[in-house]
Structure formats: C-alpha cells, structure tokens
Amino acid sequence: MAHSYPSRGGLQSPEGVLLREIQVNLLECKVCFEKFTAQHSERRPQNLSCGHVLCLECIRALSHPLLGRLECPFCRQLCSVDATSHCQALCDLQEMLFFIPACPRVDKEEEVAGVSAKALHRRATFGGWGDLINPSGVTVMRSSGTMFVVHDGVERVVVLGPQGKKQHAFGPRGHASEDVCFAMDVAVTPCGHVVVTDAGDKAVKVFTSRGSHVVTIKACFALPWGVDTDRRGHILVTDVQAGTLSRLKVHYKHGVALEEGVVVSNLQHPKAVSCCACTANTAVMQHLAQDTQQLTVFTEDFHLLYQVDTFALQLMSSVKMSGVTFDTNGHLLVVDSQQGMIWSFGTMQSGPVLTPLVSDQLIRPVGLGALNNTLVVVDAGDHTLKVYS
C-alpha cells in the first residue's frame, strides 16, 4: 500500500504547512527519515520507554546486541529493547491524513514463500482507514457470501458484498438499546439475522441483514465477547468475565428471546467461539495464565471432545491465538495475532496437525471467517479485510 502526501489547500496554506510539519516531525523516523508504516515490519513506529519514537529497524541498528539496550538518540536515556512497544496511534494518523482509500483492491497473485503446498494466496484487500476503523470481527453469510464486519466507525456494522463492495452499514454508535457501544464480535444466522456482542452495555444485539433492530438480550452477561450461531440459528456467546458459554434461542420474527442458558461453565476467560456447520461441534478459545491459550472443542450437546493448548503443542511462546473458525470441511482454523499467521488444526480427530495457511502479509490479524475455499481475515494492524483462497 503506497502512501502519497497530497498537499491539501496548497503547500503554502496554513493547512499545508501544518500537514508538512506533521509529516516530517511525527510520521517519519527521525533517524533514517523513512515514513512510518504498519505495512512493513521494519518501518513500524516503536515507543521507547523515554517516550520517543523510532522505526523498528533503527531500534535494532542502535541497540547493543548482547545487552538489548540502546541510548535514545534524542534524550540519551538508556532504554531496554524489550520495553519498546508498537505505536499504533502514529500508524493510524498516517492512514488518516495521507492514505487515500481505493476500495476494494484486488491484489496481484503472489506466491507465499516458505510454507506448505496448502498455503493460501491473497486475492483482495478491502477497507483501510476510514472505511474500517479498528475492525474486531467478521462473519460470512453462507448462502450469499455477504461479509459483515464490526468496527469502531459511526455505524458499527459494515456490510460488504462477496466482491468486497460496501453495500451498507448499520448499528449506530450510541448507548440506546438499539445502538451499539463497543462491538466485540459478529455472527450471522442461516436465515440472515446479524448478531453483535456489545461490550459497552454488556448485551447481545440482533439486527436484520438490512440493519433493523430485532432484539437486545442483556441476560446476565458480565462481559460478552465472542459470538457465533449454530445451524438452527441459536446464538452461542462467550462471557470472558463469567467464564461461560451461553446459548440463546430467539424468535426472530417476534423479536423475543425464548431461552437463555449457560451450556458450559468454569471456562477460563473464553473469548473466540465458532460453531461448525457440518459437525455442529463448537470450538472455544480460552486464555489461561501466562499467555497460554487453550482450544476446546465440544460436541453438539456440549460434551468435551478435544482440548489442546499452545504449551502442549510446544509452539513458541510468542504464538498468540486470537480468533477461531471452522472451514466448510470441518477443519479448525486459528488466527495467530503475534506472528501474523493463520494455522489449520485439521479435523483434530487424530490429534491436531498444524499447517500454516497464511504466513505473511498480515500485521495484526484478530478475526477470521471461512466460506468454501475462501478465508476472510480481519487485520486490525492496517484496518482491512484480507481475502485468501
């Protein structure tokens, strides 16, 4: 994604001068004069503990290889490399001021290097700052291929056609029952109702696919997080604080909740949830202590079927699973937000077999949806949806 620096109102206008100041003083690394960008890892802005910002490559170049420390080139404070962190706000400002969205973009077919023959290729990228702001969840409607994304925009739910064209948006930002405060995740029922978990007022909200509010279910959620629907249209919701998985049965036509019940309790910080359309199994991702995630698969009756944690898989401790979905063949796919990868766990019947499906081009993937041979990934790093097949 190339950045251009258009002059708004001319370079000599007060606005143009201010933009130029921002560009030179905030959005470029002051050591190498390269523009900060989320797209290339070495050019990502990093916060030092003193408060100054450098690109990742300059931090590496200036730090002592053994001690893992560097002297800030501006204030001379000694900073630990381990204590640096990604400065997302500068990437967002870069996108906001200087990125002109050209949506949707169809990517050139690129070979993904270094992964197995099962690796997927990126076909398209949708969104970018403005069209999507901090997207957190996606779901794909099986019958039509329509994609529903939740994000931080004025209308919280964005509807995209199968080719990525924005169709409409709904779920206005607000505190009323039919508004959405802070959307965590989104799901769609087989008949096309859209379900959103709202962490703001701790509720599950149901809309028609056109965006009309159907019902808000508050039940007794402490903090609803992940959501999916089963093949009968029942809603499955995790509660990260209560440690539960609940099932809600809704009469969509009358807009009433018929039944609300906890189906699994004693979970540890359950977040992402996915229900398999072919087996009716449900996968829940739990977040245990010390950065270990556990993936648990239950039968349709919520009996424990498989369980695997990142520690048992002896994956590197940097693996951080943040999303889960089943593909059309019943394979379990997970998002690795730390390494920017998508893994397949297979069907788990003879133990998990880890296969990398997507191993680059992702910055901070947080959610995914699958339909047939297509995978849709939410990348919060550059506010996009990336489509692989």
Give the footprint of Zn ion on this chain (CB under 5 A). Answer: 29, 31-32, 50, 52, 55, 58, 72, 74-75
If the CB atoms of residues 74 and 252 are measured against Zn ion, the closer one turns out to be 74
Longest distance between any two alpha carbons in the chain, whole Å: 68
CB of 100 to Zn ion, least distance (A): 24
If the CB atoms of residues 25 and 266 are measured against Zn ion, the closer one turns out to be 25
Q: What is the DSSP letter of 107?
A: P
CB of 33 to Zn ion, least distance (A): 8
The residue whose two tokens read 């039944």 is: 259
If the CB atoms of residues 57 and 382 are measured against Zn ion, the closer one turns out to be 57
Identify the CA nearest to 371 among candidates 106, 142, 137, 121: 142
If the CB atoms of residues 20 and 35 are measured against Zn ion, the closer one turns out to be 35
CB of 72 to Zn ion, least distance (A): 3
Q: Which amino acid is at 6?
A: P
Helix axes of 14-25 and 88-98: crossing angle, nearest 10 degrees: 150
User: What ranges in the chain are assigned the alpha helix state H?
Assistant: 14-25, 56-62, 88-98
If the CB atoms of residues 20 and 60 are measured against Zn ion, the closer one turns out to be 60
CB of 358 to Zn ion, least distance (A): 28
If the CB atoms of residues 43 and 386 are measured against Zn ion, the closer one turns out to be 43
Q: Which residues pair with 284 in a beta bridge?
A: 273, 296
CB of 27 to Zn ion, least distance (A): 12
CB of 3 to Zn ion, least distance (A): 16
Helix, strand, coil percent content, the chain, rounded in steps of 5: 10, 40, 50
CB of 28 to Zn ion, least distance (A): 8
The dihedral built from the CA positions of residue 283, 158, 99 and 124, taken in this order, carries a sign that is positive
For every residue of 229-257, DSSP letters joined together read E-TTS-EEEEETTTTEEEEEEEETTTTEE
- 234 burial type by CB count under 10 A (0-12 exposed, 13-18 middle, 19+ buried): middle
Residues ≥6 apart with Cβ < 8 Å to 308: 294, 295, 345, 348, 352
CB of 23 to Zn ion, least distance (A): 15
If the CB atoms of residues 68 and 261 are measured against Zn ion, the closer one turns out to be 68
If the CB atoms of residues 75 and 191 are measured against Zn ion, the closer one turns out to be 75
Q: Which residues pair with 187 in a beta bridge?
A: 195
